[in-house]
């Protein structure tokens, strides 16, 4: 009933929040997110380490998440496609992995390893 904002669409909408919940669960990091985009980004990139490599990987993962949510939202509105959060989460993992493989010189994780233990791929080991 009210005007949609980018913060609502990308971070606060109950439908999209299931994607964020699954992404942090996959990363193995317990967190309660901020409600506004900039604060959400700042919190996400500083979740687990001050090391630049880890921050870069988290930033790529965050950007892949925002991009995939935006694409899925546009598909819902313009193509009348239902929202499948599990499919969106899979797309995020693959997208981030492809970007990291193409751009990070020292990123050598296989897609299987990335999907099963992203923290290990970041050199962090398991947190939980």
Q: Is residue 1 part of a domain?
A: no
Percent of the chain at pLDDT exceeding 90: 43
pLDDT at residue 125 in the model = 62
**Whether the predicted pLDDT of 127 surpasses 60:** no
For residue 74, what are the domain limits? Answer: 6-122
Domain count of the fold of the chain: 1
pLDDT classification of 96: cutoffs 50, 70, 90? very high
Q: Is residue 128 part of a domain?
A: no
95 contacts 112 by C-beta, under 8 angstroms: no
Radius of gyration of the chain (CA): 15
Please write the tens of the pLDDT for every residue from 61-73. 999 999 999 999 8
**CA gap 18, 16 in Å, rounded:** 5
**Whether the predicted pLDDT of 38 surpasses 80:** no
Half-sphere exposure of 128 (CA within 13 A, CB side): 10
């Amino acid at each position: 009933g009210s005007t949609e904002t980018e913060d609502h669409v990308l971070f606060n909408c109950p439908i999209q929040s299931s994607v964020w919940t699954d992404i942090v669960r996959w990363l193995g990091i317990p967190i309660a997110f901020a409600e506004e985009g900039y604060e959400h980004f700042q919190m996400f990139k500083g979740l687990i380490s001050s090391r630049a490599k880890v921050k870069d990987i988290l930033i790529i993962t965050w950007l892949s998440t925002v991009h995939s949510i935006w694409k899925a939202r546009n598909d819902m509105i313009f193509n009348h496609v239902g929202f499948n959060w599990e499919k969106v989460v899979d797309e995020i993992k693959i997208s981030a992995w492809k970007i990291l493989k193409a751009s990070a010189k020292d990123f050598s994780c296989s897609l299987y390893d990335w999907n099963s233990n992203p923290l290990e791929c970041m050199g962090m080991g398991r947190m939980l």
